[in-house]
Amino acid sequence: MATNVSTMIDAESIAQRVRELGAEITRDYAGRNLVLVCVLKGSFVFTSDLARHIDLPMRVEFLGVRSYGEDTKSSGVVQITHDLTKPVEGDHVLLVEDIVDTGLTIAHLLELLRTRKPASVKVCSLLHKPARTRIQVPIDYLGFTIEDKFVVGYGLDWAERYRNLPFIGLVESAS
């Protein structure tokens, strides 16, 4: 399956950065009601690794979102496919994304979450692709800045495939 995928960020580099982010979040959210909001589907791998490096009695919620479909370009329409199961009013929400590309998804989610009256909303993204920015969004915790290539693996897909790769890779024909 992975024969035409080259490695951009290897599994050990990801693991190291996830440990660092977990330690930083643990320090910053000590004594607060933290709710990690995993933005599905792409961030399921990152969220599960990150959560195990946060040493706090936090909650995890899932928000299903889709805007790319089978394409490698954002449709510009952010569709909610699964909502939070419990209110986050008064809680400190940390949105966990696999990638901020155009910024459209996270901008939409920040707007949506703020209507739920949390004490705070911040963003943690494993990847950021600044060359594609269409809307500037704050990324409070960032794993890696990457070049303008369509990447897969560690949760990220191309037409629903490659999410299970343990590294971030490039499908040459997708870029």
Ligand X SMILES: O=P(O)(O)OC[C@H]1O[C@H](OP(=O)(O)OP(=O)(O)O)[C@H](O)[C@@H]1O
Active centre residues (catalytic): 101
Give the shortest CB-97-to-ligand X separation in angstroms: 6
Nearer to ligand HPA, 22 or 42 (CB): 42
Task: Report CA-CA distances (Å) from 30 to 59, 60, 165.
Answer: 14, 16, 33
Of 34, 94, 101, 150, the one binding ligand X (CB under 6 A) is: 101
Q: How far apart are CB 117 and ligand HPA at their closest, in Å?
A: 29
Identify which range of 22-30, 84-92, 135-143, 151-159 contacts ligand HPA by CB under 6 A. Answer: 151-159
Of 125, 124, 128, which Cα lies nearest the Cα of 151?
Answer: 128
Alpha-carbon distance of 63 to 47, in angstroms, equals 12
Q: Compute the distance between CA of residue 137 and CA of residue 15 in angstroms, rounded to an integer.
A: 25
Place of tokens 């209110």: 87
Closest CB to ligand HPA among 115 and 173?
Answer: 173
Sheet holding 168-171, edge to edge: 5-9, 168-171, 151-152
Q: Which residue is nearest to ligand HPA (CB)?
A: 101
Q: How far is the CB of 147 from ligand X (least distance, A)?
A: 15
Applying CB under 6 A, the residues found at the interface with ligand X are 39-42, 65-68, 74, 97-105, 157
